[in-house]
Chain A
């Protein structure tokens, strides 16, 4: 799979990318705790060179919603 966003989530959450999809959320992935959420923010900001607002961060409750947020910032994911 060539989805860089899923790859990034998999790397930070330390899970197999096959286990993740756009519906994955803290409820469905047990590794996705608040520490992981913090690391995800740093990883996304590093990788896509964006800055997320607290509103953006609060909205990212699934991988799909993270994708939408990034797309709204003109990041191709």
Chain B
């Protein structure tokens, strides 16, 4: 994770880029600050290189944040994917900040200024199409804001708290501005460690090299999280991983789990796992144990934080971990490369690393004090925005299990009918964008083109006249799958290009793909087109949709490498599904008669 010798990595990369005849960058970032921020360049750059980007890092002019907000093109030039702004109260409002200590009634003036600054960011957000990252203000470094006021609460902290609360509120209200919590990072590292007063006095550069390293890594993680899919599942060993000792030998009362060390280390690790689950990460168990022993701990040990319900898949038997992990991936319908495996046994870790190199393996540390933070310090679960679908994921998996059990009791056809599937295809609204971004960047298997996009890209497409960004949500009698499909249609003359077509694999095989194609045809018709065209771009993982267009009677046209379907040939929604298409905010567009029963208005 931590780039070794980031400065050397960055120097080599920059030199290699300079040798190229044409620039080859896929991530142009500009950093600007109210203070000197140049030292950030190699650290941020090297982190992005380690995440397989080809970054270009520019440092904006010193202390011109207002001007950047007013007219970023004039100050920075054009063509950036990311603008990141770092600022401090003592740089932007030095006099007011000092006055707040002697006359507390002037805090209101400072707050007004801070609010105005937030409003100018709104302007920048409106004019800049890329990713915008803005810091929180860190606690002032001026000597009058001393942290240790003897015998009383720090007056500076009172001022600071009201400012930072207001700032966070204002920025959260702006949409699509990513808040970089510089203050939290400062706390994490330590105020004294982070500052370098020599460089501040000499160069107006306040921080130590190691703190710039941390800032670079954090901003790098934020940028990468926009494009790189987070891991979806943690597969956990039990003995000496979720608790100390071996339940099969030590018994329910003998294992270490509770409020004293070492039991507390395991307990706190479980707490962190539960937190990950709330972010949408699935938890699974892979252990060599007797099922009754393992389940007994979940059901009866009063110090357990995790319950059976929190675990999406159990593999409890004496077969290999490799086999267990493969089964977990299959059960949960996710790729091996979205799994993280945690075990205390180096042999197991070694075997999984060797036989399933896609799986990320993490070993329980020798020093148990590091166990609770084991996964917190990785970037495996960096998620830009957490959606409702994430929070409900484990519950949705449980509904899936119920479906499967029912399915086994009846014929395929009966089962499909019994589900009462309701499918909605609709034009994207603001509230859908976060989830759509996630699907667009995470879906690997059922995806025709695998074009990755940022939320800003998608919003721009949704707002453009000739493009339709469509979402699909699905419900059945067991529950709500939520938003599970995305399509992007672009009208080109009278022909409709399917730029993107993807679905979560969990909903396949029940007519959802059929319905989606039928609804896309309707949408294309509404755009005034007579045909739809689409491409299949092969990747290592999307072979399952190789023949999708063929299956729905599209004709292959070799010169353009496209599949074409005249809309008059478009498939109809299967009968067992109730489907609707909503293209504008209001009423659904008229559906063809086969799917919506014609109700007679009275």
- Chain A contact residues, CB within 8 Å of chain B: 11, 34-35, 37-39, 41-42, 45-46, 52-54, 57
Report whether B38 and A39 are in contact in the complex, using a CB–CB cutoff of 8 Å.
yes
- Which of B125-133, B196-204, B279-287, B453-461 binds A? B196-204
Q: Closest B residue to A34 by CB, please name it.
A: B203
Q: CA of A48 to CA of B472 in the docked complex: distance in angstroms?
A: 60
Among candidates B38, B201, B209, residue contacting A54 with C-beta atoms closer than 8 Å: B201
Name the contact of B199 in the complex, choosing from A11, A41, A53 (C-beta under 8 A).
A41
User: Which residues of chain B are near A42, meaning CB under 8 Å?
Assistant: 39, 209
Is B36 in the interface zone, CB < 8 Å from A? yes
B209, A46: Cβ atoms under 8 Å?
Answer: yes
B50 within 8 A of A: no
B11 at the interface (CB under 8 A from A): yes
**Please, what's the 1-or-0 string for B194-216, where 1 marks a CB less than 8 Å from any CB in chain A?**
00001101110100010000000
Question: CB distance B11 to A11 under 8 Å?
Answer: yes
Q: Is the beta-carbon distance between B203 and A38 smaller than 8 angstroms? A: yes
Report the 10 A-B pairs with minimum CB-CB distance, sorted nearest first.
A38-B203, A54-B198, A42-B209, A35-B38, A38-B205, A34-B203, A57-B202, A54-B202, A38-B199, A54-B201
Bound together, the chains give a CA A45 to CA B38 distance in angstroms of 17
> How many angstroms between the C-alpha atoms of A34 and B202 in the bound complex?
9
> Which residues on the B side are within 8 Å of A39 (C-beta)?
38-39
22 contacts between A and B (CB under 8 A): A11-B11, A34-B203, A35-B36, A35-B38, A35-B203, A37-B202, A37-B203, A38-B36, A38-B38, A38-B39, A38-B199, A38-B205, A39-B38, A39-B39, A41-B202, A46-B7, A52-B198, A53-B198, A54-B198, A54-B201, A54-B202, A57-B202
Task: Report whether B209 and A38 are in contact in the complex, using a CB–CB cutoff of 8 Å.
Answer: no
Residues of A near B36 (CB, < 8 A) are 35, 38
Q: A38–B202 contact, CB under 8 A? A: yes
Task: Give the residues in chain B near A52, CB-CB below 8 Å.
Answer: 198
Q: Quick check: A57 and B38 within 8 Å, CB to CB?
A: no
Overall SS of chain A's interface: helix
In the complex formed, the residue of B with least CB distance to A58 is B202
Given A34-B203, A35-B36, A38-B202, 19 more pairs with CB closer than 8 A: A35-B38, A37-B202, A37-B203, A38-B38, A38-B39, A38-B199, A39-B38, A41-B199, A41-B202, A42-B39, A42-B209, A45-B209, A46-B209, A52-B198, A54-B198, A54-B201, A54-B202, A57-B198, A57-B202
Give the residues from 154 to 204 in chain B that come closer than 8 angstroms, CB to CB, to chain A.
Answer: 198-199, 201-203
- Please give the distance in Å from A16's CB to the nearest CB on chain B: 14
Contacts of B201 in A (CB 8 A): 54
Residues of A within 8 A of B199 (CB): 38, 41
Query: A45 to chain B: which residues have CB within 8 Å?
Result: 209
- Inter-chain contacts of A41 with B (CB < 8 A): 199, 202
B1-53 CB contacts (< 8 Å) to partner A:
7, 11, 36, 38-39
- Cβ-closest chain B residue relative to A41: B199
Residues from chain B with Cβ under 8 Å of A11 in the complex: 11
A57 to B199, CA, bound (A): 10
Q: Within the assembled complex, what's the spacing in Å between the Cα atoms of A62 and B201? A: 21
**B39 / chain A contacts, CB cutoff of 8 Å:** 38-39, 42
B202 contacts across to A, CB distance below 8 A: 37-38, 41, 54, 57
Residues in A with CB closer than 8 Å to B38 are: 35, 38-39
Bound CA–CA A52/B39 (angstroms): 17
In the complex, what residue of chain B is closest to A52 when comparing beta carbons? Answer: B198
Distance A54 CA – B199 CA, assembled complex (angstroms) = 8
A11 to chain B minimum Cβ distance, whole angstroms, is 7
In the assembled complex, the Cα of A46 lies from the Cα of B203 at a distance in Å of 18
CA distance A45 to B199 in the complex (A): 13
- B129 to chain A minimum Cβ distance, whole angstroms, is 30
Contacts of B198 in A (CB 8 A): 52-54, 57
CA distance A33 to B421 in the complex (A): 68
Chain B residues near A57 (CB-CB < 8 A): 198, 202
In the complex, what residue of chain A is closest to B8 when comparing beta carbons? Answer: A11
Residue numbers in B under 8 Å from A53 (CB-CB): 198
CB distance from B287 to the nearest CB of A (A): 46
Residue on B nearest A38 in the bound complex, by CB? B203
Nearest-neighbour CB distance to chain B for A34, whole angstroms, equals 6
Minimum CB distance partner of B42 in chain A: A39
Provide the bound-state CA to CA distance between A46 and B205, in Å.
17
Which residues of chain B in 53-81 are interfacial with respect to chain A, using CB atoms and an 8 Å cutoff?
none
Residues in B with CB closer than 8 Å to A38 are 36, 38-39, 199, 202-203, 205
* B15: nearest chain-A partner, CB-CB: A14
Residue of A whose beta carbon sits closest to that of B39 = A42
Contacts of A37 in B (CB 8 A): 202-203
Least Cβ distance of A20 to chain B in Å? 18
Q: Which residues of B contact A54 (CB under 8 A)?
A: 198, 201-202
Chain A residues near B7: list those with CB within 8 A: 46
A53 to B196, CA, bound (A): 11
